Amino acid sequence: MSAVSDQSLNPFIRIRRQLHQIPEPGFAEFKTQQFILDYLAGLPQERLQVRTWRTGVLMRIPGTAPRRCIGYRADMDALPLDEETTLPFKSTHPGYMHACGHDMHMAIALGVLTHFVHHPVRDDLLFVFQPAEEGPGGAQPMLESEEFRSWKPDCMFALHIAPEYPVGTIAVKPGILFANTSELFIDLVGKSGHAAYPHQANDMVLATSHLAIQLHHIVSRNIDPLDSAIVTIGKVTIGTKQNIIAGKGRLEGTIRTLSMDSMRKIKSRIEAMVRGIEESFECEATIDWGANYCQVYNDEPLTTEFMDWLRQTNIANLTVCKEAMTGEDFGYFLQKIPGFMFWLGVDTPYGLHHPKIEPNEEAIPVAIRVLTEYITWKASKET
């Protein structure tokens, strides 16, 4: 981070820093929502319409001679992490951090909408600040809300920061960009007992361990090698003391696939394996699939048009990326509305969800310029 004074900063970099200090979990983004509303209240009101939905915000700018509505979405929530960056504007909320770039996403959206409040285009514009992307999932219920449906756009765009790309790079592809995802929680209940009397107990250390090993064989032995899928168990909780046979065990993990067929197949195999564990270890088990996100599938004509526009304008360096196994609930918007998401290079050695991630803030004005110029061009075209 450069040692420039706060007063000389780009105003939307300053906004990002303010948002970075108030990270909040999904559907509890109260300070974040108020920050956005206060900012919008300071803009000229004659071309600005604002609605709230739960902890989200929708902002509409009527066009000068509208034929359609162009939508743009930014997510709002943070992650349950203790921040370990060197930043002087760290999180002031212990246990929470903007480690996935949502602070930057919001600052960029505010920069773009500010431009169009002062420089309206022909078409209507809708800016969506969506809560709970990290969980339990805000896109699907927001999409179904009356507040959104009555302002539903005809096309919709979004971005996500990408640590691996340099500033000035836009990475995108037509078709599938992000995977289908599902959380996975499995609870096993047996019978606890004294370590000296194992025959009088049903040991959940053994049951949970056997199941964890079996689950990691699903992809290699049940999914087409030419397809892509992941089953990861990231957390195991069993036992309380070294001389007590554990009566309960819990597995927590994630499933990611590039096809819904593979997602269905993996879930079916998990259910069969859990039934087998119940029989083998004389225990009871429950499965909770948690939050499920559909794939992010970029509309091919719109994405190709955007890529061609980037090549023609040379406003940013275009990279045609590969699909990723990350998950994003923006996919629910794209199921109903044609559009696309792209990666924005922020050039940092630490990955998404890392407590030390420090995205390069110079990507913020780059993204604002790309989006304002693209939307201006898009709104000038005939439908």
Catalytic residues: 75, 134
Q: Which two tokens stand for residue 209?
A: 């361990």
Phi, then psi, of 327 in degrees rounded to 5: -120, 150
**Nearest Cα to Cα of residue 244 among 193, 204, 202:** 193
10 Å Cβ neighbour count for 41? Answer: 10
The CB-based long-range contact list for 312-318 (8 Å cut-off, 24+ gap) reads 313/373, 315/369, 315/370, 315/373, 316/168, 316/169, 316/170, 316/366, 316/370, 317/166, 317/168, 317/169, 317/170, 318/169, 318/170, 318/171, 318/172
Q: What region, left, alpha or beta, does residue 324 occupy, with left being phi > 0 and alpha being psi -120 to 50 degrees?
A: beta
Dist. CA 101–CA 162, nearest whole Å: 9
Q: Which two tokens stand for residue 244?
A: 């007590």
3-class DSSP assignment, residue 224: coil
Q: Which two tokens stand for residue 26?
A: 């999904």
**Nearest Cα to Cα of residue 159 among 109, 115, 98:** 109
10 Å Cβ neighbour count for 95? Answer: 13
Dist. CA 123–CA 340, nearest whole Å: 18
**Nearest Cα to Cα of residue 102 among 66, 68, 73:** 73
| Residue 64: exposure state from Cβ atoms within 10 A (0-12, 13-18, ≥19) | exposed
Which residues are bridge partners to 158 per DSSP?
Answer: 341
10 Å Cβ neighbour count for 147? Answer: 14
Dist. CA 134–CA 357, nearest whole Å: 17
**Nearest Cα to Cα of residue 181 among 120, 147, 229:** 229
For residue 16, which amino acid is it? Answer: R
